[in-house]
Amino acid sequence: MENNVIILAGGQGKRMKTKKPKVLCSVIGEPMLEWVITACENAGINDVCVVKGYEAQQIDDFLAARNSRADITTVMQEERLGTGHAVMQAKDFLQAHKDGNTLVLCGDAPLIDPETIIDALELHETRGCSVTVVTARVEDPTGYGRIVRSEEGISGIVEHKDCSPYQLAITEVNSGCYWFRTADLLEVLFEIKPENAQGEYYLTDCVELMIGKGKIADAYISGNPNVVLGANDRRGLLMLNDVARSEIIGKWLDEGIEFCCTDGVSVGNSVKIGQGTIIHSGVILRGNTEIGENCVIGNNCIIENTKIGNNVNLNNVQAYDSVVEDDVKIGPYVQLRPNSHIKKGVKIGDFVEIKNSTIGEYTAVAHLTYIGDSDVGANVNFGCGVVTVNYNGDKKFRTVIEDNAFIGCNTNLVAPVRVGKGAYTAAGSTITKDIPDNALAIERTKAEIKEGYALRKLKNRTEKFENEHKKENDNK
């Protein structure tokens, strides 16, 4: 049986006060829509239809940019006339999958989890349901639709404003997530009417229609109460961030990861962390980052889409779209820009920037150095203040530094240039020619000393200073 999902992502979210669709507002650095799609992929549902609306091109751009396991199509909801109306726009998608089950999710409810999706489907199929509503028990059900149960399953969903005193006491609430038998959904979807104050088509009416036709409707109570959470404004979005942040840190604590302090710590939904690793305060781990075993991720590190090996020590490091191998020590105040590859045993000191470069095994880059568009061999030593001059204002060129080279302090390597194996550069040199293996390169201009130059140059400045100083003394 073919299972698929429709994700409702057409909302504007006016109270967010943003020019992008609400579902593209971020929770821990990732759009809410990304969280929902990822949960579907991790549940094995790879046939996805996204219903877009407000600023639809931004949705298209987001989907085109993500590395998706799923086969994602989109449909347009020109007018936002309710959840039922949104699903109606996916009629052709439903017809193409009418022999299976369809999951309907809200793109602005990011904390849905794969386990809930899978377990709800199991109940749905086991009971032969036409619809299975995903629910949760919450302490404060205010504002949520209540689930009214019967001996056969559920008898309906009652919106908060329509609840009787008895129904207001119900703590099982609708999450807005549903499993439908697709053929049964198609049978009732276009029967729903906008008979409400908002003039909208509610998907919950499909549940009522199915029950009225004698079909089986049930509810799966998720063990994750956060599945009901969404955000309509910035305060709600901040709350979602806080909840997600706390839940993810809690998960890693259960896995044995040590957090010295959680102040300012944020770990993304797709991040992986190896056992024995220690996370300090202010650390932000985003995207598809992987941290190996027995690492120390020191204060204020930002690691994004980067793979970190085992036994790595980072201190005040920012790393983006890069690879760091085992036994590396970096920091403080180091930036690894995209496409940097730091090999085993490398040591990088303070105030170093590396961009689109490979740094070979056991190389040392002490401090105050820029390495860009370079291929550096093993056991190379960089003195203080080295710069690879990779850009001439028009094009960028690569520098090659072979094994065991020694780059003296304040060397400028003007690319394209090659430093041979075991070669040395003298401090203060600006290297513009290839250096043979085991050679010493000294490339400086001849020193020129002009006697008395400073006195002439500074005469006016000195006189001005003396006059101002004398005037201050006279006024005392």
> What b/e string do you get for 92-107 counting C-beta neighbours within 10 Å, with b at 16 or more?
ebbebbbebbbbbbbb
Please, are residues 344 and 361 in contact by the beta-carbon 8 Å criterion? yes
Please, are residues 220 and 127 in contact by the beta-carbon 8 Å criterion? no
Handedness of CA 43, 46, 47, 48 (dihedral sign): positive
* CA nearest to 20, candidates 29, 28, 9: 9
- Compute the half-sphere exposure of residue 301: CA atoms within 13 Å on the CB side of its CA: 28
Sheet with 258-259: list strands edge to edge: 258-259, 278-279, 296-297, 313-314, 329-330, 347-348, 364-365, 381-382, 406-407, 424-425, 440-441
What is the C-alpha separation between 386 and 425, in angstroms, rounded? 11
Show the tokens assigned to 370: 């820029």
Tell me the catalytic residues.
Answer: 367
What is the C-alpha separation between 71 and 210, in angstroms, rounded? 29
What is the C-alpha separation between 336 and 319, in angstroms, rounded? 4
* CA nearest to 237, candidates 132, 357, 394, 110: 110
DSSP secondary structure letter of residue 471: H
Sheet with 341-342: list strands edge to edge: 272-273, 290-291, 307-308, 323-324, 341-342, 358-359, 374-376, 399-401, 417-419
* CA nearest to 175, candidates 203, 135, 147, 218: 135
Please, are residues 55 and 20 in contact by the beta-carbon 8 Å criterion? yes
* CA nearest to 49, candidates 182, 174, 228: 182
Q: How far does CA 144 lie from the centroid of its chain?
A: 30
The secondary element (H helix, E strand) that includes residue 353 is strand 352-355
